[in-house]
Amino acid sequence: MHGWLKEQVRIYRGNAASIKEYRIQLRSTKTIWYWGIYLSILVIVAMANYGSIVSSASNSPSSLQSSLQTYYQIVVGFLQGMILLIAPMLGASAIVSEYDLRSIELVFSSPASTKYFLVGKYLAALRQLALLLFLSLPITAVGVTLGGATWQQVIEQYLYLMMHGAIVLAVAMPIAINTQSMVRTISGVVAVLILGGFFAAVASASSMAMMFGGMAGSTTSIPPLVGLVPFLTPFTLGYSTLVGLVPVPNWIFAGIATLAIVKVLLLGAGSALTKVGSRETRSLRVHGLILVALYCFSIYSTIKSIPWPPASQRQGIAMMVVNMPLIPIFFILMFLAASGRAEDRKFLADKLFNWKEILGGRPSGSLGYGMILIAMVAFTNALTLYSVSFIRKLEILMLPAWGLAFGLMILGIGWWVSPGFDQVVGSRRTVVAAVMGLVILSHVGLMFLDIGMNQVVTEFLVLANPFLPWADSLILLVMKITILLIIAGLAYYFGEKKRRLMFNKYYGQPKPIEATT
């Protein structure tokens, strides 16, 4: 234990890679220019907003106070956008520069561990981000001086901004290792932010809408992790969640979730740099389960904080409510499903299923690991909704079954696509495009069918679309699950045939049948 603690102190305090990277950043003339442009833009935005306040000084005190609050919110919102723009640049440059200078090979030949290298790079970029936030503090402090906000709100807001920046920074690092390009890394981070942020914003806004109006009437609490959604933070300041009888500020839950997310993302970067079965890969899988468990807790606390109507008062079945939280897991499965035939054994399609590889990182463990992730989220959601009497006992098993079938289809598509690609990057892009294409094109096609068709037939076709998580009866739900299982079975069958041909062509005789069952 003492040796482990000593090693952690060596990695996180006095990290040579972190000190070197931070000094390089501070000595660069580009950094001074970036800081100057950053502060100039913030000052211009602040002065423009302050000028509008001065021009309305003749208005009533209540109107003036509202204008001061608007000033603070605009400045903080603009600062939020700047952090989301700068963080991926810092993360990408920290990794891509090593590839550009061809010094990444020295990392593998040095006695320093992969964790030591990545943590050092990350901490150096995080320091830079913290310094940028510190430099902006005088501008936002004007809002406190003028009465637009309190110091408690400013400090809590800055804590959330630091969490947002830390997460985006960590997202950039595994993407940079895979792409080795600044432009592609930033594009990848933007795509992740758009998809993940859109889902999180819709889910959080829906929860808050139900809690502050509509179903919920009024409440004094909001879901604890809503503050991690960019641009929703101002609506979450000052709230807390009861743990037993003790109110715990929501920013503490957000901080714990941020640490878990950053840990998993850095482990993902470490896994991308190491070989199959490495400690980083196994740790990534274990911490991924822990992160999903935290996600399940967030689902549980959100559902429990909303007064749901009883099952007898709702229409149809609650398929959308149960399966909506699975969307992030589906995107994870799209990456798990992909493999490449010309890369190391970590990405090589070895066999269909091997329970020993669930934590090992090889494709044979993707099926088991993916099903575990879906089951954790789907059944947590279903059981919690049953505990508040929103769904019936039969629906506890039936509603999550669609999520499991859809996840199996994603993994099947990945098994079918992967043998045709040398590199895992191309395989992942094709899997994402195939799954998104099925979902989007099926819905768009049905919208076109609406023209000139009977409305009843059109509504039935829309409800019967197996790729969308809604239905008005258990019969339709069973039909959707059956179609998804058929697609998954066909994809696995033809994918296995392609895999055997690939093995026969590139590696000699194909593996025996027994090895894939």
Digit-coded pLDDT (tens) for 144-194: 776 667 888 888 999 999 999 999 999 999 888 888 888 888 888 888 887
Q: What is the SS3 assignment for 507? A: coil
* pLDDT of amino acid 219: 42
pLDDT in tens, 57-106: 555 666 666 666 777 778 888 888 888 888 888 888 888 888 887 777 77
Residue 491 scores a pLDDT above 90: yes
Helices assigned H by DSSP within 347-392:
366-387
How much is the average pLDDT of 233-241? Answer: 81
pLDDT confidence of residue 209: 45
**Does residue 416 or residue 223 have the better pLDDT?**
416
| Strand boundaries in 71-222, DSSP class E | none
Determine the average pLDDT of the residues in 118-128: 89
Q: How far is residue 413's CA from residue 196's CA, in Å, rounded to a whole number? A: 22
Cβ atoms of 304 and 385 closer than 8 Å: no
pLDDT > 90? residue 11: no
The whole-number pLDDT of residue 146 equals: 65
Cα–Cα distance, 478 to 402 (Å, whole number):
8
478: helix, strand or coil = helix
Q: Are 83 and 160 in contact (CB under 8 A)?
A: no
Residues 338-364 have a mean pLDDT of 74
Tokens of 370: 């993916």
Q: What is the 3-state secondary structure (H, E, C) of 424-460?
A: HHHHHHHHHHHHHHHHHHHHHHHHHHCCCCCHHHHHH
pLDDT in tens, 405-455: 999 999 999 999 988 887 777 888 899 899 988 888 777 766 665 555 555
517, 510, 512: which is closest to 493 by C-alpha? 517
Q: What are phi and psi for residue 215, nearest 5 degrees?
A: -65, -40
- What would the mean pLDDT of 221-237 be, rounded to a whole number? 78
Residue 357 in 3-state DSSP?
A: helix
Lowest mean pLDDT among 25-29, 312-316, 319-323, 365-369: 312-316
Q: What is the DSSP string of 260-289?
A: HHHHHHHHHHHHHHS-TT-HHHHHHHHHHH
By 3-state DSSP, what share of the chain in percent is helix, strand and coil, each rounded to 5? 75, 0, 25
Q: What CA–CA distances, in Å, run from 458 to 262, 316, 441, 476, 478?
A: 45, 18, 16, 14, 19
**What residues contact residue 35 under an 8 Å CB cut-off, 6+ apart?**
132, 135
Compare 270 and 349 and report the one with higher pLDDT: 270
Tens digits of per-residue pLDDT, 393-405? 888 888 889 999 9
pLDDT at 208 over 50: no
Residues paired with 240 in a beta bridge = 249
Mean pLDDT over 321-349 rounds to: 76
**Whole-angstrom distance, CA of residue 414 vs CA of residue 308:** 38
- DSSP code, position 317: -
- Would you call 448 exposed, middle or buried from its count of C-beta atoms within 10 A (0-12, 13-18, 19+)? exposed
All residues at 6 or more sequence positions from 251 whose CB lies less than 8 Å from its CB, including other chains: 156, 159, 160, 227
Mean pLDDT lowest for which of 141-145, 484-488, 509-513? Answer: 509-513
At 164 the pLDDT is: 92
Question: What pLDDT does 456 receive?
Answer: 58
Average pLDDT over all residues of the chain:
78
Give yes or no for residue 217 having a pLDDT over 50: no
Could you please report the per-residue DSSP string of 106-146?
HHHHSSS-HHHHHHHHHHHHHHHHHHHHHHHHHHHHHHHHT
